[in-house]
Chain A
């Protein structure tokens, strides 16, 4: 059946908007291309002047025990040939023809730096294997997952409870406490780091995951704030009808509030996992003695040391590091089902 005009218009609108979204996405993600390309290059390819942005290997020709670089040289007769440079010079250089060695040495006038090279697409997939091996990726992954999930559980439990307390109960001093909680994030963490670290040193928690995971079970201002705001968008009618039915506060939280709040709860979960996944300074300070407990973010920064920079390894590692949170995100998003939220009270 032929599509109706209305369907056509709808489809056209969908097409235009989707294209717009894809366009914006393309622009937005273009640095990723840089990441991907860099992760597939060797350091030499990154530094070579005139190298194309895609991973390309320059050509070499072995001649008399030396590796000669190959360039695309314009010949006097108008054609070009790929020749190997034997001796570089400012005004003239000497080449040999890899395909025709009998022709001997070819002297060419001009600046070799202005010449193009024949590039070959050459992605270095082994970079990923190198990162995997060099930082013991499975172990690191286990560490990071452990940290993310344990702290995630703590955050979910504690922050929903606290946010519920701030949003559904009225008592004197509640708002003062709320401002107090928010104000705990005003003080830059740099400054409270040392007293906190000293405290953990005294109770012998340094060198374990405890300083990073245990505080997660005591709520944090960001997630409580978000959940509290969200809970406050939910009308009270359902609460009240449940209360009339004799439900206690815990039951109201479980049966009334939470079912309506899963977009926010899932959002909080995802954010926290991503935050824990990339948390750098906390694990660095508390786990510096324990090489085998390090998470990805710290392990990755090893490649960025001032000595021996390996940008291709950092990018490869970063790409590998983001796969799991990404998959998690894809899966979690299905719970962000659009649209129909039942808020109507059955009258």
Chain B
């Protein structure tokens, strides 16, 4: 009887599997692999486009990317472009595995500096192809083009630039009776009683304190403020790595000619300000636990509608669909009298080990050329071509009709971080990781000795740089 039971069980399993096999394209796939490889020698060159190191992994972005691929394939009979989208969290592992096995993709992107530097030395010098195809680089500003000229050659071309600005929620300022942050660079901040102050990080902190509110409505400057029950924060360094936080106070290199680490004074000041903002007497920045909670958007704090201000880049428009219909943009604050901004730049890179560099370059020029019109809005990227910027913002205004101040974004282009906060460091991956650990420590533990940890960071970075 039990034997029959097993037989029945196995029979059921086989039937189920056959049922699964029958109509499904799932088993069809391996079968259709064969015909493709058996195709005549004049078959298309396959170019693999790997998405995941930067933006491009959102469900809403998929149809756009797939349409671009379809359009390209229709207009380029000699190339078959294949899209590979890997979720952001797993993208680096997947890419590393492919590269290590010698099976890397042909094109990677959109990818910024941090993604590219994680694979420093892996990118093809496309200079020869620019020359041989006569590609016109004058359509971009030469400053941007030289951005991508490293010792390895011309490793990229400008595609999307993402200046930064202060994103803020108007309604929160209204509720507190405060004036909005300055709309353009050079303006001062006006307090309700009429006094003016320079728009710098100290002023921002004071404003943010008034906008950090607990469940009973007290802000963090008032007695009776309960820091355990914060329902709104004044400021969040949205998705910023400590290098970013520091660069907004002053762009600098952290290593010298001898590969000794030296934390720039501006960065130390920025981090101290930030640490104090989280754990000080009058906090205005959320702790790690708070910003990581579902109520605060799992680290996407501004999107959850709980932050009055955030400093981040143009690409953030990809991800603030839930932030409401009342946010706007303002100018970045100054440090020691000067505004130090950051400009992120994403582009597509060709992997050094590609078997088809010429075709890869063809795809690349398509992506940053004709396809840019479709891709840039979905990535939230400002066009690198000056002539297209206005058209881009027209699209953005339709998307966010309530935003009045796109100009400050355009103005932000004038404040790039040079050297980039994501720029080259010796042993980049380990160094970036170590600094991130430092940031996490500050975010999650208020009892640490800031100066001791800073010194430890510097010492360990020296070891990393010199190893």
Contacts and interface: CB of A to CB of B under 8 A. Distances in A.
B213 interface: yes
Interface string A189-208: 00001100110010010111
A149 B20 contact: yes
A24 B413 CA distance: 60
Nearest to A310: B59
A56 interface: no
A47 B322 CA distance: 10
B175 A88 contact: yes
Interface in B256-313: 294-298, 300, 304-306
B318 A47 contact: no
A149 B319 contact: no
A269 B305 CA distance: 47
Contacts of A281: 90
Please list the 8 inter-chain residue pairs (A to B) with the smallest Cβ-Cβ separation, ordered nearest first. A111-B217, A198-B101, A88-B175, A149-B17, A47-B304, A142-B24, A49-B231, A201-B103
Chain A: number of interface residues, binned into ranges: 35 or more
B462 to A, nearest CB: 29
Contact of B103 (A206, A291, A303, A307): A206
Nearest to A135: B59
Question: For B55, B59, B171, which residue has the most chain A Cβ atoms within 10 angstroms?
Answer: B59
Contact of B21 (A146, A206, A266): A146
Contacts of B296: 47
Contacts of A209: 26, 29-30
Interface of B: 2-3, 5-6, 9-10, 13-14, 16-17, 20-21, 24-27, 29-30, 33, 37, 48, 55, 57-60, 82-90, 93-94, 97-98, 100-103, 171, 174-177, 213-219, 231, 239, 294-298, 300, 304-306, 318-319, 321-322
B101 A89 contact: no
Contact of B59 (A113, A262, A302): A302
Contacts of B85: 288, 291
Given A111-B217, A153-B17, A201-B102, A208 B5 contact: no
A335 interface: yes
A142 B26 contact: yes
Given A146-B21, A198-B101, A302-B59, A309 B297 contact: yes
Contacts of A306: 88-89, 239
B230 to A, nearest CB: 9
Interface string A256-287: 00110010011001000000000001001100
13 contacts: A47-B295, A47-B306, A111-B218, A113-B216, A139-B26, A149-B17, A153-B13, A206-B103, A259-B6, A262-B2, A292-B25, A293-B26, A302-B87
A152 B13 contact: yes
Contacts of A208: 29-30, 33
Given A47-B295, A208-B29, A304 B87 contact: yes
Given A113-B215, A269-B13, A308-B321, 15 more contacts: A46-B294, A90-B175, A134-B59, A194-B100, A198-B101, A208-B29, A258-B3, A262-B6, A284-B90, A288-B94, A289-B84, A305-B58, A307-B58, A308-B58, A335-B5
Contacts of A255: 3
A152 B175 CA distance: 61
Given A149-B16, A152-B13, A305 B102 contact: no
Contacts of B101: 194, 197-198, 201
A293 B82 contact: no
A150 interface: yes
A208 B231 CA distance: 49
Interface in A44-95: 44, 46-50, 87-91
Given A142-B26, A285-B94, A304 B89 contact: yes
Nearest to A309: B298
B87 A305 contact: yes
